[in-house]
Structures are given as structure tokens and as C-alpha cells.
């Protein structure tokens, strides 16, 4: 996973320090908040880039696999038609229809399973969003 390059550097200024004005304290808080938000955005960007890279790898593997699987299935279907005709003596059109109907049933089942898997997929950068929500929560409710 890509690491965020700029670690948080927070200047701790105590309100009891001599020569520290309210303006300096507020300026420090504002500067730290801006730094924190910039780092949160960098984290989201890094996580997105990593997820995109992994998604590209998966898509390439699936594409090659799907192509080879398609070629293999087509060849098996043709062989199945000829085997069915040889074993049963049915006319070729009936063998083609039987093999096509079987392939259709398996295709529908595959699409149903795939749609259920896709329904549970969330492409958003969950970790970064959760960290960002925690940051906002800490900034808005400093008592906790």
C-alpha cells in the first residue's frame, strides 16, 4: 500500500508559555487542522490509486481467463453436440438445441451468482473515509 510521505508535525504551544498570544494559538490550531485535512486527502488519494492498480490487475486476469474459458467452452459445446448425436442418434438440430438449452441454464445461474457478488461490493475507500470521519468528529467534539 502507498504510504503518505508527510508525517504530521505538530507544534505544541502551551497557553501558559510566556509570550504566547491568543492569535498565535489560533494560528497554530488552524495550521495543524489544514495539515491534517491535507494528509487525509493524500491518504484517500493513495488508497484510491492502490485500489485502482489492484482492480486493473484483476480485470486483466479475468479478461484473459474469460477469453480462454470462452474458447474452451465453445469447443466443448461443439464436441458435446457431436457426442450426443453419436450416442442417441438424434438429428443434429435436436442435439444443438439440447446443448444450447443446457448452456443457457448454466449461463443464467452464473449471472445470478455474479449479480449477488456485485451487490455486496463497495468500491469506496472505506479506511480513508473512516479515518476522515474520526478526524472531523475529534475536531467538532474535542471533549471526547
22-75 tens-digit pLDDT: 898 889 999 999 999 999 999 989 999 998 999 999 999 999 999 999 999 999
Contacts of 127 (CB under 8 A, 6+ apart): 47
Q: Give the count of domains, the chain.
A: 1
Residue 85's nearest CA partner among 93, 105, 74 is 93
Residue 45 in any domain: the answer is: yes
pTM of the model: 0.47
**133 neighbors 37 (Cβ within 8 angstroms):** no
For residue range 94-119, list pLDDT tens digits in order.
999 999 999 999 999 999 999 998 88
pLDDT band at 1 (very low <50, low <70, confident <90, very high): very low
- Domain residues for the domain of 108 are 22-135
pLDDT band at 144 (very low <50, low <70, confident <90, very high): low
Look at phi and psi of residue 31 and say left if phi exceeds 0, alpha if psi is from -120 to 50, else beta. alpha
Amino acid at each position: 500500500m502507498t504510504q503518505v510521505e508527510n508525517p504530521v508535525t505538530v507544534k505544541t504551544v502551551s497557553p501558559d508559555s510566556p509570550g504566547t498570544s491568543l492569535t498565535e494559538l489560533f494560528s497554530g490550531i488552524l495550521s495543524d487542522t489544514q495539515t491534517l485535512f491535507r494528509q487525509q486527502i493524500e491518504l484517500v488519494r493513495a488508497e484510491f490509486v492502490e485500489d485502482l492498480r489492484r482492480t486493473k490487475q484483476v480485470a486483466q486476469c479475468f479478461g484473459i481467463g474469460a477469453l480462454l474459458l470462452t474458447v474452451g467452452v465453445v469447443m466443448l459445446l461443439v464436441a458435446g453436440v457431436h457426442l450426443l448425436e453419436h450416442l442417441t442418434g438424434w438429428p443434429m438440430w435436436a442435439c444443438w438445441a439440447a446443448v444450447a438449452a443446457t448452456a443457457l441454464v448454466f449461463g443464467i445461474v452464473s449471472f445470478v451468482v455474479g449479480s449477488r457478488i456485485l451487490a455486496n461490493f463497495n468500491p469506496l475507500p472505506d479506511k480513508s473515509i473512516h479515518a476522515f470521519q474520526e478526524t472531523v468528529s475529534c475536531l467538532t467534539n474535542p471533549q471526547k
